Amino acid sequence: MQFSVEVENVGKRYDGDVEAVKNVSFTADRGIHVFLGPNGSGKSTLLSIIAGVLKPSTGRIMICGVDLWGSGGLEARRHIGYAPQDPPFRPLLTGYENLIRQALFRGLSLKEARERARELLDLTGLSEAGDRKVGEYSGGMKRRLTVAAALIGNPNIIVLDEPSTGLDPTARRDLWSIIADLERRGCTVLLATHYADEAEALASKVYIMHRGVMAAQGSTSELKEKYTPTSVILIKVKRGDGWAEKVKMESKLPGVEDITVENQTIRVYATKPNIMAPKILEDLVGLNVEVKEMRIMEPTLEDVYFKVTGATLGGEGDVG
């Protein structure tokens, strides 16, 4: 059986004509599908719709060929495991007890719930902490427990909303390893994040979300090839706008495909960055612009996001 998610023209409108999601369509099957965007881009709203928690205003969600909001919706939901940003754990219960509680909600017998809880504590590296109260857990431990809870019903489609937010680098890598293992097991994983490096590390396919719209989609290599085929000369200055506009108007820099400016950061997209960097530095000095930092970087998904949307991953608002 192909464990697929089909999203057809899905939109979500709240009171006051606020459109959190606008006419989104895509199909996802086995692999890790990462929805990249800042807070307010609509990715969390979209995933809560796909998880069956929030009903769409328009469009349709098909889970393994079954309409999520149709007559077979209950059966479709059995395929889904959902890890929201704020899971309903009881802080005075242990991790083990919280997982048993979740398992009973999913319809497992008490015996099955106990076995599954211990299995998932081991899978997520929480065996030794399983008998401690969740209120005593670190942020990383709570995130791993959230993933464990999403896997309680042994789902084939796992929806993870910002699973690594607030984690230290070690805890993030541990969590990434757990998520990557889900792909190896044949699962379909849908993951929302505002971290470009997380998308780079995990994604089979990336969906760029911007103001409720899916602005672009493709593998990491496809997106980079299409939107950022050149290297990036990153320049941090005390004054950038005037220089950038001057260069754009005069067009005297061969090999420079584009220049973007945000606050005091200039990104120069160049085909021969090692040749262009000294020339750019010379021009800056001639214009009395103080350079704080200059380095050459290969393009990242953060650069792709900026090229596609004109915005950064720093934030868009409060919609979701």
Tell me what pLDDT residue 251 has.
43
DSSP string, 112-175: HHHHHHHHHHHHTT-TTTTTSBGGG--HHHHHHHHHHHHTTT--SEEEEESTTTT--HHHHHHH
Q: What's the whole-model pTM score?
A: 0.82
> Which residues of the chain does CATH 3.40.50.300 include?
5-224
Assigned CATH for 5-224: 3.40.50.300
Pairing of strands 213-218, 291-297: unpaired
Q: Which CATH number fits domain 230-298: 3.20.20.70, 3.40.30.10, 3.40.50.2000, 3.30.70.100?
A: 3.30.70.100
| Single-letter amino acid, residue 212 | G
Ranges for all domains in the chain classified under CATH 3.30.70.100: 230-298
Query: What are φ and ψ of residue 133, in 5° steps?
Result: -65, 140
pLDDT tens-place values along the chain, 320 residues long? 566 999 999 999 988 778 999 999 999 999 999 999 999 999 999 999 999 999 999 999 999 999 999 999 999 999 999 999 888 899 999 999 999 999 999 889 999 999 999 999 998 989 999 999 999 999 889 989 999 999 999 999 999 999 998 888 888 898 899 999 999 999 999 999 999 999 999 999 999 999 999 999 999 999 998 988 778 888 888 865 566 666 555 445 667 777 877 778 888 888 888 888 888 888 777 777 788 999 998 889 998 999 999 998 976 544 45
3-state secondary structure 144-161: HHHHHHHCCCCCCEEEEE
pLDDT on residue 256: 79
Within 33-91, where are the H helices? 43-50, 73-77
